[in-house]
Structure 1
Amino acid sequence: MTSETSRPLRVETTPIPGFLRIDLPVHGDNRGWFKENWQREKMLALGLPDFGPVQNNISFNHEVGVTRGIHAEPWDKYVSVASGRVFGAWVDLREGPTFGTLYTCEIDPSVAVYVPRGVGNAYQTLEPATAYTYLVNDHWLPDARYTFLNLADSSVAVPWPIPLEKAVLSDKDRSHPPLEEVSPFPAPGASLPGAAPLTRGAHSDGATAPGDEPHVSGPHGGSRQGRRVLVTGAHGQLGRELMRQLPEAGYEATGVDLPEVDISDASALEGFPWGDYDVVVNAAAWTNVDGAETSEGRRQSWRANATGPANLARAATAHGLVLVHVSSEYVFDGTAQVHAEDEPASPLGVYGQSKAGGDAAVAATTRHYLVRTSWVVGEGGNFVRTMARLAAQGVQPKVVADQVGRLTFTTDLAAGIIHLLETGAPYGTYNLSGEGAVVSWADVARRVYELTGHSAQEVTPVTTEEYFADQDVAPRPLVSVLDLTKIESTGFVPADSMQRLEDYVRSL
């Protein structure tokens, strides 16, 4: 090859969804040639997924006609050759409408292909001394799911340049089943995974101490994320709503919580079956804002809110997972009138500091959605339920009026998370709260009293300083208003939070 015959870098789609062909520039002179076989920044810009390879393999073939395959494994591959030339054949063995679809092309050093997991891979050498190279994003496991197809299957009918009866095959490859006997591969994207609680959260549900975070506890370009989702903190308010909505949206959802899974225990997570999932949604947190200021609470808060997300981020990077992590406006000091996604963290207390630590860890894994929310209301104990109970009991509470923000109902929070996954929105941080008017906790309390048939005048507004006078409590941000421009630009507009409040109270 010479520089005159070198093609520009470009990517082509194929009849197999997610399978890509890549033309690679090869620069040659009288000494030989050079190519960038995998150049992450350039290839991602052209639409290749950031699949996170962990191993580089080379299969050397002495003779013309060596034929290997058709193998579908539970990992993605990036294939080219270092020397020689092959005829490549790929068959979609994933369950779905394209099951059995065939694509073929020749591969020399100027061509590469990206093979999604579940797509059967095979090749036949066309030159002697061919070095077939491939990157993979997971390690071989003896108990993983592997799917095979016979090289000579008549329904797929691969047009092998060298007839198989004259080719060099292994006995094992000769024995693979025909297509009619193949069990389809469960593809990630079938449409195209003592101490106070660490994952459910110890929630301070004081009637007049609002502001604790409730039980919070892709490839880009519009492609839908994988369908197998692990939800941590599944027993919390958001976790329960996710476990309701995810199956309705076509996802296979698995929920875990303490004591079965402790995300802060790195050694326990090492043996976790990460290969069974495509997406992890971390709805786990320690949410006792005041308790986090104690010596024991400080440790628990950091374990759950920082160490746990760091462990999940490490697993997401190692196994090519999408990580969705739910954070809080408590990472800010509340001095800005509205908080945008790019505002630097400035937490006031231990709880907010631990959440900021978790956010930093999650941001280190490429395929992440960091969803920041505030004032969450869902199934379980929360401020709205407390106000309704106090109203029924005839209590006339004092409620802080100088902390302002918007309520976020788990119906919107879960729907927004699913929207990000469904649309393949660019990875990064998104604010997600209810829409509508900015209100205080006292405003919310008064509205709950009205909706339950009581007088709003039974609620007395006070300042945070007045309410917590002579009490040793955690500092709280006075402004929890989140800028929703970014999430709404993706096409998701949360419901008006005060309208949601009316519907919620009527359902109690």
Structure 2
Amino acid sequence: MSAAELRVRSTAIPGLLLVDVPVHGDNRGWFKENWQRAKAVAAGLPDFGPVQNNISFNGDRGTTRGIHAEPWDKYVSVATGRIFGAWVDLRDGETFGTVVTCEVGPDTAVLVPRGVGNAFQTLEDATAYTYLVTDHWSAEALDEYSFLNLADETVAIDWPVPLERAQLSDKDRKHPRLDAVDPLAPAPVLVVGRTGQLGRALVALLEERGVPHRAVGRDELDLAEPGRWPEPWRTGVGLRRYRAVVNAAAHTAVDEAETPEGRPSAWAANATGVAALAAACAAAGVPLLHVSTDYVFDGALPLGQEYPVDAPVAPLSVYGQSKAAGEAAVRALPRHWVVRTSWVIGSGRNFISTMAGLAARGVDPRVVDDQVGRLTFAEDLAAGVLHLVESAAPYGTYHLTGAGEPLSWAQVARRVFELLGADPDRVHPVSTAEYTGERTGVAPRPRNSVLELAALRATGFEPHDHLELLGTRLHADGAAEALRG
């Protein structure tokens, strides 16, 4: 009666997917699994998280509805009868105005992404049209709709029943032509932690690429105090219109987290608050990208080996323990990305700027030589994070650091001195024990922080060599010129 297996076919409209649905029939009638998440995802459909199921019953052949572009994804099919479906891309971009048409019966479904105009005309009496959507309808959502006239000459849809003989609503007859339609912008990305190193880099990249977004800081959404969030944030209602939530916020004062005062703060922001954010995203049906750290590992892996994404976590410090707990909370969310990184270098004061300043002032630093990893520049981290979101990469855990040869902190410092024209032998390598000496309250650090990048590369993103970006950063900061001066 239909295809033996679920099969997904692409179309001329990006993201608009036709689905061949197995239908099993006998003398009693037929049965189909209209939406079976595991099979659908395995066949190539996105795990789009529907929250509502609607049915439109149409009494007569020729009933025509649309063309409506809505601010959510929908998965359409028919329970009885047949339709002629028509879809027009009304999103901002190169495919604006592209048309796809297809006859749809019980053995066909269509995934219609946000911003693609959807219309259908019934080919049989008593047709029941059904669709799953990724958000609850509300009157306020109408402000985010886009509409196109069914009779628009530009797209020239060849309706089986001429529109003059079809049944249409007065509203559908009055929708604008294509040249008067405002293209629908992509759903925005929500960045939590706008003032941190990654948050600032993400906002800069989103603005540079013209990606719709909103960025919030602790004044609007403090991870450490979820009980004080506005109700729409706590319940997830305020998140439904977002394409994804990126959590770039964290308590990162590693040594402070070892103190009686800092321990509760670290756990509140890195674990309890993250769990609340994951719950809100689950309620909203919105994917969450959460940034974690190499500190979830104990660093005991022999040097020369890299931590794979599925390595068991074994954090040494309170900071690492709280971040591991946050990861666990995020993994309870079906649609998530956990992105571990290490040795992040952003704008402002950081290890690189500190070493450059010491080189310029003639100070010979003592630098730890038994902790090994790769630098991760915030702009590269931001690019990788945005790539995972925009490419709809498979959900799961990724490692995202700079590429290239792993080095110790002392070797990085020597490279900074060398690039600035200073004598690298001025950097004195010491062990972690020598560096910390008799100080108390110093958090233990992983000795091996080298993270395997294979899963990230499989998505099509190649991080930059961290030493190449080091040279670029020093040149951009003018550190070499300052030293020579």
Q: Structure 2 residue aligned with 1:85, among 79, 82, 85?
A: 82
| Secondary structure, aligned partner of 2:206 | helix
Which residue in the other structure is 1:331 paired with? 296
The alpha carbon displacement at 1:275 in A equals: 4.6
Q: Which amino acid aligns with 1:430?
A: Y
Q: What CA distance in whole angstroms lies between the structure 1 residues aligned with 2:417 and 2:88?
A: 63
Q: What CA distance in whole angstroms lies between the structure 2 residues aligned with 1:105 and 1:504?
A: 53
Q: Structure 1 residue aligned with 2:214, among 249, 254, 260?
A: 254
Q: What CA distance in whole angstroms lies between the structure 1 residues aligned with 2:423 and 2:97?
A: 67
Determine if the alignment matches structure 1 residue 34 to structure 2 residue 2.
Answer: no
Determine if the alignment matches structure 1 residue 377 to structure 2 residue 360.
Answer: no
| Secondary structure, aligned partner of 2:273 | helix
Determine if the alignment matches structure 1 residue 280 to structure 2 residue 220.
Answer: no
Structure 1 residue ranges without an equivalent (≥5): 194-227
1:53-68 to structure 2, matched below 5 A, reads 53-68=50-65
| Secondary structure, aligned partner of 2:314 | coil
**Cα distance per residue 1:163-182 (max 9 Å; x no partner):** 33443333333332333332
The alpha carbon displacement at 1:69 in A equals: 2.0
More moved, 77-86 vs 407-416? 407-416
Which residue in the other structure is 1:441 paired with? 409
Determine if the alignment matches structure 1 residue 351 to structure 2 residue 302.
Answer: no
> Structure 1 pair 331/96, CA: closer, same or farther in 2 (3 Å)?
same
The alpha carbon displacement at 1:10 in A equals: 2.2
Q: What CA distance in whole angstroms lies between the structure 1 residues aligned with 2:375 and 2:273?
A: 26
Determine if the alignment matches structure 1 residue 233 to structure 2 residue 193.
Answer: yes
Q: What CA distance in whole angstroms lies between the structure 1 residues aligned with 2:220 and 2:117?
A: 36
**Cα distance per residue 1:203-226 (max 9 Å; x no partner):** xxxxxxxxxxxxxxxxxxxxxxxx
Q: What CA distance in whole angstroms lies between the structure 1 residues aligned with 2:467 and 2:180?
A: 56
Q: Which amino acid aligns with 2:174?
A: S
The alpha carbon displacement at 1:447 in A equals: 4.0
| Secondary structure, aligned partner of 1:113 | strand
Q: Are the counterparts in 1 of residues 371 and 446 from structure 2 also a CA contact under 8 Å?
A: yes
**Cα distance per residue 1:214-271 (max 9 Å; x no partner):** xxxxxxxxxxxxxx33322222222222223334345334332221332452643247
Q: Count matched residues.
A: 465
Q: Identity over aligned residues, as a percent?
A: 61
Which residue in the other structure is 1:500 paired with? 469
1:84-483 to structure 2, matched below 5 A, reads 84-144=81-141, 145-186=144-185, 188=186, 193=187, 228-264=188-224, 265=226, 267-268=229-230, 269-270=233-234, 273-337=238-302, 338-393=306-361, 395-421=363-389, 423-451=391-419, 455-468=423-436, 469-483=438-452
**Cα distance per residue 1:103-161 (max 9 Å; x no partner):** 33332222211111112222233333322111111111222211222333343333333
| Secondary structure, aligned partner of 2:139 | coil
Determine if the alignment matches structure 1 residue 487 to structure 2 residue 456.
Answer: yes
Q: What CA distance in whole angstroms lies between the structure 2 residues aligned with 1:491 and 1:121?
A: 31
Q: What CA distance in whole angstroms lies between the structure 2 residues aligned with 1:499 and 1:102?
A: 45
The alpha carbon displacement at 1:90 in A equals: 2.2
The alpha carbon displacement at 1:461 in A equals: 3.4
Query: What is the root-mean-square deviation of aligned Cα atoms in Å?
Result: 2.7
The alpha carbon displacement at 1:470 in A equals: 4.5
The alpha carbon displacement at 1:329 in A equals: 0.6
The alpha carbon displacement at 1:274 in A equals: 3.0
Q: Which amino acid aligns with 1:413?
A: L
Q: What CA distance in whole angstroms lies between the structure 2 residues aligned with 1:100 and 1:457?
A: 63
Q: Are the counterparts in 2 of residues 330 and 348 from structure 1 also a CA contact under 8 Å?
A: yes
Q: Which amino acid aligns with 2:190?
A: L
Q: What CA distance in whole angstroms lies between the structure 1 residues aligned with 2:8 and 2:421?
A: 63
Q: Which amino acid aligns with 2:208?
A: E
Which residue in the other structure is 2:3 paired with? 7
